[in-house]
Amino acid sequence: MPTNIFAHRGASGHAPENTMAAFELAYRQGADGIETDVHLTKDNVPVLMHDERINRTTNSTGYIKDYTLTQLKQLDAGSWFSPAFSDSKILSLDEMLTWIHDKALYLNIELKNNKIDYTNLETIVYNRIASYGLLHRTILSTFNPNSMTRLNEIATDTPRALLLSGRHKHTQLVAYAMDLGASAIHIKYQLLSRQLVDQVHQTHMAVRVFTVNKPAHMLRCFSMGCDAIFTDFPEAAVQSRRQFDSQKPK
């Protein structure tokens, strides 16, 4: 099976992350899927942003949890990247699900609950995905082991991935993910090895790698049979995968 290419926060190397501009560009560049991040607003609406605070990627400050969706919609979420994107807005999860519904794209939603453990985040997000009929092509991922336990109770019909960035022994890492009931692991590129990929695949879990931006690193992931990579540059990844496929023995 070919390695899938997920646009990390959209084509975030060329457009402001987690905005419609980044998602549209990733789609045009041929990504197989979109990776995005979800927090909850003050009025319990899931919105797309990587950080807990809005300081880095908007023209305001503070925590997402302290703003309503209406308040967040007033902010400029693009000028920090380039003045050309000054009309970019923070997106709700519903806006993303509406956009992706009729497109042949996978969706990876990272639940951003490793620093703020939002009440009922898993249930709220799961129910929104289900209402759009997208469970069959959505992956839910988290760094939070307690969140993984909660996902196992409500989301048995969609893949659940444990995010891992620390340096553990491979056997401990795989066993840890299995014990938590994960169906996949998402690892930092620095953890990647052929031994780890083989061990994960022996357990029938998937292994996906973040954040892979260098062509040489992309080719290494392809050669090891990783199930997917997450990249800020989906167009470059598509080209690298094409190069890799052309060099394989016929």
pLDDT greater than 90 at residue 165 = no
pLDDT at 170 over 90: no
Query: What is the pLDDT of the chain when averaged over all its residues?
Result: 96
Q: What is the tens place of the pLDDT at every residue in 171-209?
A: 689 999 999 999 999 999 999 999 999 999 999 999 999
Bridging pattern class, strands 91-92 and 46-48: antiparallel
Does the pLDDT value for residue 45 go beyond 80?
A: yes
Q: pLDDT band at 168, cuts 50/70/90?
A: low
* Torsional sign, CA 156, 228, 142, 167: positive
Rounded to two decimals, the pTM is 0.97
Angstrom distance (rounded) from CA 189 to CA 68: 36
What total number of domains does the chain contain?
A: 1
Query: What is the spatial distance between Cα 175 and Cα 168, in angstroms, rounded to a whole number?
Result: 11
Is pLDDT at 249 greater than 80 in this prediction? Answer: no
Residues 102, 94: Cα–Cα separation, whole Å: 14
pLDDT at 56 over 90: yes
For residues 169 and 127, which has the higher predicted lDDT (pLDDT)? Answer: 127
Question: Which residue reads 């980044």 in tokens?
Answer: 22
Q: Given a cut of 70, is residue 16 above it in pLDDT?
A: yes
Contact predicate 153/144, CB 8 Å: no
- Give the domain range for residue 119: 4-247
Tell whether the model's pLDDT for residue 250 goes beyond 80: no
Length of the chain: 250
C-alpha to C-alpha distance for 54 and 58, rounded to whole angstroms: 6
* Least-confidence region, from 160-164, 166-170, 211-215, 220-224: 166-170
> Which CATH number belongs to the domain containing residue 236 in this structure?
3.20.20.190
Vertex 90 angle, CA 228 and 125, to 5°:
60
The pLDDT of residue 73 is above 70: yes
pLDDT reported for residue 248: 79
Inform me whether the pLDDT recorded for 29 exceeds 70.
yes
Whether the pLDDT of residue 167 is over 70: the answer is no
Active site (catalytic) residues: 8, 50
Average pLDDT of span 66-78: 98
Q: What local confidence, expressed as pLDDT, does residue 68 receive?
A: 98
Query: Averaged over 38-57, what is the pLDDT?
Result: 98
Compute the distance between CA of residue 186 and CA of residue 221 in angstroms, rounded to an integer: 13
pLDDT reported for residue 166: 76
Region 49-71: mean pLDDT is 98
The three state secondary structure string of the chain is CCCEEEEECCCCCCCCCCCHHHHHHHHHCCCCEEEEEEEECCCCCEEECCCCECCCCCCCCCEHHHCCHHHHCCCCCCCCCCHHHCCCCCEEHHHHHHHHCCCCCEEEEEECCCCCCCCCHHHHHHHHHHHCCCHHHEEEEECCHHHHHHHHHHCCCCCEEEEECCCCCHHHHHHHHHHCCCCEEEEEHHHCCHHHHHHHHHCCCEEEEECCCCHHHHHHHHHCCCCEEEECCHHHHHHHHHHHHHHCCC
The pLDDT value given to residue 169: 61
